Amino acid sequence: MQGRGAERTPLSSPDHSSTGYMREASLAFAAPLLALALGHVLSNLVRTLPAIAADLLGRDLGVTASGLASLTGSYNLAFALAQVPVGVALDRFGTRRTALGLLAVTGAGSVLAALAGGAAGFLLAQIVLGLGCSGMLMCPITYAAKRLSPGQFGLWSGLVQAFGNCGMLLSASPLALLVEATDWRAGYLACAGLAVLTLLLVALLVRGEAGAGPGRGLAADAREVLRLAASRRLRGVVVLAFASFAVVIGVRGLWGGPWLMEEKGLPRVEAGNILLLTTAALVIGPALWGIADRRFGHRRALLAWGHLGAAGALALTALGGPGGPFGALPPAWDAATLLGFFLLISVQPLAFAATRTAVPPEVAGKALAGVNLSFFAGAAALQALSGPVVSAAGTGAGLIFLALATALAALGYLILTRRAG
């Protein structure tokens, strides 16, 4: 399984065994990969920024909680719709050119968000940001997938996710302090600055690569992305992905802040501290799950039980709120249950590893984009649906809704992959 893949990557070349060469080869692989992954940091910062400033955004934009959910959900919808062209671009034009174009769009979207004077302007900014960020994970993931064996890829994909999730740390306490000192617009201006920095690093560190070329029409390539996503070998992963990211972005990107500030009565910075602590699991967790996958195997079981456990932990968070069966439990309860939730749900990068194993490297970009399409189509759909639930029954009901969706997706994954188990 590792033979042919190992020949493609300088990290494991059998023809150069000296320590100096291996160090140089490792740096030549890791430096551009981290530059590309910095785009994923930016993407996570942009998409989770509203959670810590939801009250101020709603006030300044003149929208309700449900309206804000719809506005931020447009980011996920644009992100999902862009997955097909992103997958085609990665295989046809290469990682470097695709990343540079997307980073320029993301920078422009961040400026638009900072200047938004109302709901319509913010909606436009969210759409532009969704389009720009649509390949920020796929660029480093595809870069790694085309250079590593399937066995190596499982670990590295987890490391890419872990590094990228640092963006959620930035949008916790650091962003809360920035918002308290200035306003939410400063957060988007900071995102624009990070977009420019990342673009420069990608331009300097990532070498141009030959794409597949215009061998067939764009429409045929787009159909191939959708065909791969619907294929029997990827169907289970696609179903799991539909809820997997939706629950993360629903909690960390929108309802986590209102839950802690409005339902549990915490001030903004204290809520940010809890989100910072719990979100740290999204940085540590993917690497731990990647190590477990490589050492013990049983990837199907890890994916299923990780998601089921995450659903249970999120339900426990909601049950410890006002009106819950346990009564309003102290913030330590939320910190513990949310920490468990984020640690368990951080198994999701193994979905990319399962995808990479199922397809040959020449279509890795399209296959990964097809699965990522499901990640963000689910995020757009479930976040939009959570808005009316929260408006009707409160933030706790929204958390329960997301937990149930995650559990159902995990059960669907087990059913669709039972022959492989």
Please give the Cα distance from 413 to 396 (Å, whole number): 26
Kind and range of the H or E run holding 14: none
Please give the Cα distance from 236 to 157 (Å, whole number): 19
For residue 214, the model assigns a pLDDT of 55
Q: Which CATH class is domain 19-204+218-420?
A: mainly alpha
Answer yes or no: are the C-beta atoms of 365 and 91 closer than 8 Å. Answer: yes
Please give the Cα distance from 250 to 398 (Å, whole number): 9
For residue 344, the model assigns a pLDDT of 96
For residue 7, the model assigns a pLDDT of 36
Give the domain ranges of the chain: 19-204+218-420
Among residues 301, 260, 298, 304, which one has the least CA distance to residue 279? Answer: 260
Taking only the tens place, the pLDDT of each residue in 31-42 is 899 999 999 999
Higher pLDDT, 229 or 123: 123
For residue 202, the model assigns a pLDDT of 95
**DSSP letter for each residue of 389-410:** HHHHH-HHHHHHHHHHHHHHHH
Please give the Cα distance from 383 to 127 (Å, whole number): 15
**DSSP state, 10?**
G
Answer yes or no: are the C-beta atoms of 13 and 25 closer than 8 Å. Answer: yes
Answer yes or no: are the C-beta atoms of 105 and 405 closer than 8 Å. Answer: no
The whole-angstrom distance between residue 262's C-alpha and the CA centroid of its chain comes to 26
Please give the Cα distance from 246 to 227 (Å, whole number): 23
Taking only the tens place, the pLDDT of each residue in 149-173 is 766 776 777 788 888 888 888 887 8
- Enumerate residues 6+ apart whose C-beta is below 8 A from 277: 335, 339
Terminal Cα-to-Cα distance of the chain (whole angstroms): 19
| pLDDT surpasses 50 at 14 | no
| pLDDT surpasses 70 at 421 | no
Question: Look-up: residue for tokens 């958390």?
Answer: 399
For residue 404, the model assigns a pLDDT of 97
Beta strand spans in 295-355 (E): none
| pLDDT surpasses 50 at 207 | yes
Taking only the tens place, the pLDDT of each residue in 274-327 is 888 888 888 888 888 888 888 888 899 999 999 999 999 999 999 998 887 877
| pLDDT surpasses 70 at 6 | no
Answer yes or no: are the C-beta atoms of 79 and 133 closer than 8 Å. Answer: yes
For residue 3, the model assigns a pLDDT of 36
Ramachandran area for residue 369 (φ above 0: left; ψ -120 to 50: alpha; else beta): alpha
Backbone angles phi, psi at 67, to 5 degrees: -65, -40
Please give the Cα distance from 258 to 55 (Å, whole number): 8
Please give the Cα distance from 368 to 359 (Å, whole number): 9
For residue 151, the model assigns a pLDDT of 66
| pLDDT surpasses 80 at 71 | yes
Indicate the pTM of the whole model: 0.73
Range from 62-71, 131-140, 401-410 that averages highest in pLDDT: 401-410
Taking only the tens place, the pLDDT of each residue in 347-391 is 988 898 888 888 887 777 778 878 888 888 888 888 888 889 988
| pLDDT surpasses 60 at 59 | yes
Please give the Cα distance from 245 to 119 (Å, whole number): 25
| pLDDT surpasses 60 at 253 | yes
For residue 168, the model assigns a pLDDT of 81
Ramachandran area for residue 60 (φ above 0: left; ψ -120 to 50: alpha; else beta): alpha
| pLDDT surpasses 90 at 189 | yes
Lowest mean pLDDT among 8-17, 120-129, 343-352: 8-17
Backbone angles phi, psi at 61, to 5 degrees: -90, -10
For residue 21, the model assigns a pLDDT of 37
SS3 348: coil
CA quadruple 296, 300, 301, 302: dihedral positive or negative?
positive
| pLDDT surpasses 90 at 120 | yes
| pLDDT surpasses 90 at 402 | yes
